[in-house]
Structure 1
Amino acid sequence: MKKNMLYLGIVYFICGILLVLLATFTEFSFEAFIWGLSGAALGPGVCMILQYMYWSKPERALDYEEKIKNQRIEMNDERRIMLRDKAGRITNQIMSYVLVILIFIVSILSVFSVMVISKWVLVVLGLLILFQFICSVVVYNKLDKKL
């Protein structure tokens, strides 16, 4: 296993510890956010360190090589590539519909004064749909030129 994984795990772990200390010894209005960030850093850090320790043992070297080989095969398998592409396309379409429905519901609730909401929220949601569409077109064109 690469040493890079161990170093990255140690950096995550140290950042998590520093954030725990910051959240413990100081008082912020956003203290819960600091606690969340500390958990988000400590968890992956501990997992990376433990994975490195587990896979770097000499008796697991052959198993690790086979695992890496299988991962490479699965990542380059044509069927899996097609499924990932199709899943991404379908997810993109679903999210577009969800955003449109969300804008519709929020604007109806705002018009009937059921929910007081800033018009900027609707503008941001509309811009998010536009951004998603533009990203889809740009990525498609880049992939079309590349392939």
Structure 2
Amino acid sequence: MKKSNLITGILYVLFGVACLIVALLIETKLEGILWGFAGAGIFPGIMMICKYFYWSSPENKERYEERLENERIEQHDELKTKIRDRAGRYTYSLGLLVVCFSILVFGILGALEVIDNARMIVLYLSGYLLFQVIAGIVIFNKLMKKY
């Protein structure tokens, strides 16, 4: 296994511990977020470190090589590549529909005065929708030039 996995795991743990220390020492409105970052850094970091030592041990080296070879085969399988591309397209389209529907729902709830600041939510979602459409077009054009 690559050393970069071990280094990444150590960095995750250090980040989590730093957030934990800040959450313990400083009282702030962001304390809940700091606790979340602490857990999101420490536990995955420990798992990365454990996986590194597990797969780096001599008795697991052969199984790890076999696993990497299977992953390479799976990644370059043409049918799976085509299905992944189609799944990404469907997900993108579904995301655009959900954002459009959310804009409509928040617009109605704001007009009925059910929620406050619905205008900000609608503007944010509209900006996100515009970003998604523009990003989709730009990425498509970049990929067309590449291939």
Same fold (TM over 0.5): yes
Deviation at residue 116 of structure 1 after TM alignment: 2.0
Paired amino acid for 2:43: G
Q: Give the superposition deviation at 1:71.
A: 0.7
- What amino acid is aligned across from residue 64 of structure 1 in structure 2? Y
Q: What's the % identity of the aligned pairs?
A: 38
What pairs with 1:86-125 in structure 2 (closer than 5 Å)? Answer: 86-125=86-125
**1:143 counterpart = 2:143:** yes
Map 1:36-51 onto structure 2 (within 5 A): 36-51=36-51
> What is residue 28 of structure 1 aligned with on the other side?
28
For residues 76-128 of structure 1, give each alpha carbon's deviation from its aligned partner in whole angstroms, at most 9, with x where no partner exists: 11111111111110011111111111110111111121222242221121111
Partner residue, 2:60: 60
Aligned 8 A contact 2:109 2:118 in 1: no
* 8 Å contact from structure 2 (residues 17, 42) kept in 1: yes
Moved over 4 A (4+): none
Q: Deviation digits for residues 5-61 of structure 1, max 9, x if unmatched?
A: 111111111221121122112211110110000111112210110001100110111
Partner of 2:72: 72
User: RMSD of aligned C-alpha atoms?
Assistant: 1.1
Extract unaligned runs of 5+ from structure 2: none
* Cα distance change, pair 112–118 in 1 and its aligned pair in 2 (3 A): closer
| Aligned equivalents of 2:49, 2:132: Cα separation in 1 | 37
* Structure 2 equivalent of residue 126 of structure 1: 126
Matches of 1:55 and 1:146 in 2, distance apart? 36
- Identify the residue that residue 16 of structure 2 maps to in structure 1: 16
Describe the SS at the equivalent of 1:115: coil
> In structure 2, what residue type is equivalent to 1:83?
I
TM normalised by structure 2 equals: 0.95
Amino acid at match of 2:112: F
